């Protein structure tokens, strides 16, 4: 019996020795924020099962009462891993909520039993809980910020977005090429998301538009895991206040057969499928009833004879010309550009191209006002777009 007791202690000892604190490595940040749902995303350094606790806005303690838990689940199972994406549905439009994230380490499996370790959680005691507000199509005004072509320059990103707060900005748009290539998933955080999280992304909705550079690299196929959308694709739509936003994916800029893509590109077919979705989307009552309609796309359909530019001009522009588009916002060229409605042959809406060292500070209410600001906050250009009759 004595030997058995010693053996039992020795058997348990490795578990005790290797059970260390789990750490939240990145996040949380918000995705898929809508009128009735939100997805909260974060990562940990160890495999874990994760959940979010949700509370209404208020000055009471976060634990003045028990809060409901929402888990990261798939096909009825709670997900175990290092990437955590918790979707919460059934929310109320235009409503503020507080939230806290949790991750419980999974040490291993013993038959049908799981061995759990420590829990990592965000702090709600020495600081206020994280908070967010759901979208609201009934709002009369929406303010938003747009940046693009950052290519991992976090100093520029910080300068362009350092003043973003829930009190002054409803949402932020990352309009492509936030990094130059995605060779590892960690590069998403190092290149721009850690900075965004530190500045605003835990509380201000951020919407991602894929650029052509983010289609490149051995981890490029995993980018969607970090920026999920309502459609399951990089093209999707959402409505905030008077604006219906159409997010389009312009794909790559060269032919699929280009040697740079090493026989991995299929963007011509992808854009054709996207055009079918776009044709249906612009006919929906939600799109038609919006006061304003803004298109977000990385590559502009003007200013170049490259293959990608010609593709989006041929496959997307004819559908948009008949859809009452108030403004298209693009990047890609690393140069400011503006083409008014009808200034370019075959394009029946204005196209604004943002530089790589400027941001667009925009507001839509009785009109759309867009200010181009440089790294110091100086206003370089102002554009105003009035309600179409």
* Residue 296 and residue 208 share a domain: yes
Q: Which of 110, 133, 156 is a domain's end point?
A: 133
Q: Which of 133, 154, 184 is a domain's end point?
A: 133
Whether residue 7 lies inside any domain: the answer is no
Q: What is the pLDDT of residue 388?
A: 79
**Residue 120: C-alpha distances to residues 6, 45, 48 (Å):** 33, 10, 9
Q: Name the DSSP letter for residue 164.
A: -
C-alpha span between 217 and 215 (Å, rounded): 7
Q: What is the pLDDT of residue 16?
A: 38
* Residue 30 and residue 65 share a domain: yes
| pLDDT tens digit sequence for 351-379 | 999 999 999 999 999 999 999 999 999 99
Tokens of 97: 């909520």
| pLDDT tens digit sequence for 80-114 | 999 999 999 999 999 999 999 999 999 998 888 99
Mean pLDDT score, 287-300: 97
Q: Are strands 77-78 and 73-74 parallel, antiparallel or unpaired?
A: antiparallel
* Residue 110 and residue 159 share a domain: no
Q: What is the pLDDT of residue 152?
A: 97
Rounded mean pLDDT of the chain? 93
Whether residue 10 lies inside any domain: the answer is no
Mean pLDDT score, 115-126: 95
Q: What is the pLDDT of residue 306?
A: 95
C-alpha span between 103 and 120 (Å, rounded): 5
Mean pLDDT score, 218-233: 96
Whether residue 179 lies inside any domain: the answer is yes
* Residue 198 and residue 95 share a domain: no
Mean pLDDT score, 339-358: 93
Mean pLDDT score, 56-77: 95
* Residue 381 and residue 333 share a domain: yes
Q: What is the CATH number of the domain that holds 128?
A: 2.60.40.10
Structurally, the chain folds into a number of domains equal to 2
Whether residue 5 lies inside any domain: the answer is no
List Cβ neighbours of 311 (8 Å cut-off, separation of 6 or more).
250, 251, 267, 268, 271
* Residue 289 and residue 185 share a domain: yes
* Residue 325 and residue 198 share a domain: yes
Please provide residue 239's backbone torsions phi and psi, each rounded to the nearest 5 degrees.
-125, 130
Angle in degrees, 0-180, between the axes of helices 307-315 and 267-281, rounded to the nearest 10: 30
Tokens of 259: 């040697």
Q: Is the pLDDT of residue 17 over 70?
A: no
Whether residue 4 lies inside any domain: the answer is no
How large a percentage of the chain has pLDDT more than 90? 88
Whether residue 310 lies inside any domain: the answer is yes
Angle 247-251-253 from CA coordinates, rounded to 5°: 130
Whether residue 117 lies inside any domain: the answer is yes
Mean pLDDT score, 167-172: 96
Q: What is the pLDDT of residue 20?
A: 67
Q: What is the pLDDT of residue 112?
A: 83
DSSP result, 330-382:
E-SSSS-EEE-TTTSTT--S-EEE--TT-EEEEEESSEEEEEEE-TT--EEEE
Please provide residue 187's backbone torsions phi and psi, each rounded to the nearest 5 degrees.
-65, -25
Host domain of residue 111: 20-133
Q: Which of 133, 155, 172 is a domain's end point?
A: 133
Find where tokens 């590892």 sit: 184
Least confident of 145-154, 239-248, 380-389: 380-389
Nearest one of 205, 294, 301 to 246, comparing CA atoms: 294
Q: What is the CATH number of the domain that holds 218?
A: 3.60.21.10
Put the strands of the sheet holding 337-339 in their side by side order.
Answer: 236-240, 243-248, 292-297, 327-330, 351-353, 337-339
C-alpha span between 367 and 91 (Å, rounded): 29
* Residue 350 and residue 234 share a domain: yes
Per-residue confidence at 389, pLDDT binned at 50, 70, 90? low
Across 148-193, the runs of DSSP E, i.e. the strands, are 171-174
The number of residues in the chain equals 389
Mean pLDDT score, 140-168: 97
Whether residue 340 lies inside any domain: the answer is yes
* Residue 39 and residue 169 share a domain: no
* Residue 182 and residue 102 share a domain: no
Q: Which residue stretches of the chain are H helix? A: 2-18, 154-161, 186-188, 194-196, 223-226, 267-281, 285-288, 307-315, 317-321
Q: Is the pLDDT of residue 5 over 70?
A: no
| pLDDT tens digit sequence for 33-57 | 999 999 999 999 999 999 999 999 9
List Cβ neighbours of 260 (8 Å cut-off, separation of 6 or more).
254
* Residue 211 and residue 115 share a domain: no
Angle 374-375-379 from CA coordinates, rounded to 5°: 30
C-alpha span between 134 and 356 (Å, rounded): 30
* Residue 152 and residue 97 share a domain: no
């Amino acid at each position: 019996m004595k030997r058995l007791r010693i053996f039992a202690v020795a058997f348990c000892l490795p578990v005790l020795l290797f059970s260390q604190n789990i750490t939240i490595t990145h996040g949380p940040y918000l995705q898929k924020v809508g009128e009735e749902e939100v997805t909260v995303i974060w990562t940990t350094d160890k495999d874990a099962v994760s959940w979010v606790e949700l509370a209404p806005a208020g000055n009471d303690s976060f634990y003045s009462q028990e809060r409901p838990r929402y888990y990261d689940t798939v096909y009825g199972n709670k997900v175990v891993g290092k990437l955590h994406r918790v979707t919460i549905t059934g929310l109320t439009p235009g409503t503020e909520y507080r939230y806290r994230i949790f991750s419980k380490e999974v040490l291993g499996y013993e038959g049908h039993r799981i061995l759990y370790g420590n829990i990592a959680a965000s702090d709600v005691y020495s600081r206020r809980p994280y908070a967010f507000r759901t979208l609201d199509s009934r709002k009369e005004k929406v303010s938003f910020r747009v940046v693009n072509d950052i290519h991992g320059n976090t100093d520029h990103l910080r300068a362009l977005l350092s003043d973003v707060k829930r009190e002054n900005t409803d949402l932020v748009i990352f309009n492509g090429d936030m990094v130059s290539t995605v060779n590892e998933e960690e590069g998403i955080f190092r290149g721009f998301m850690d900075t965004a999280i530190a500045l605003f992304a835990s509380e201000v909705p951020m919407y991602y538009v894929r650029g052509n550079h983010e289609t490149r690299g051995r981890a490029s196929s995993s980018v969607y895991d970090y920026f999920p959308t309502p459609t399951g694709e990089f093209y999707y739509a959402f409505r905030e206040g008077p604006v219906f936003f159409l997010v389009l994916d312009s794909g790559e800029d060269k032919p699929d057969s280009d040697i740079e893509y090493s026989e991995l590109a299929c963007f011509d077919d992808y854009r054709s499928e996207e055009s079918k979705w776009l044709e249906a989307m612009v006919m929906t009552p939600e799109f038609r009833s919006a006061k304003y309609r803004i298109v977000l796309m990385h590559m502009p359909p003007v200013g170049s004879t490259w293959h990608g530019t010609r593709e989006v001009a041929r496959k997307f522009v004819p559908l948009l010309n008949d859809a009452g588009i108030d403004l298209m916002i693009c990047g890609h060229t690393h140069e400011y550009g503006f083409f008014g409605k009808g200034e370019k042959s075959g394009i029946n809406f204005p196209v604004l191209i943002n530089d790589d060292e400027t941001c667009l500070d925009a507001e839509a209410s009785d009109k759309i006002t867009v200010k181009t600001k440089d790294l110091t906050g100086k206003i370089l250009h102002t554009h105003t777009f009035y309600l179409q009759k």
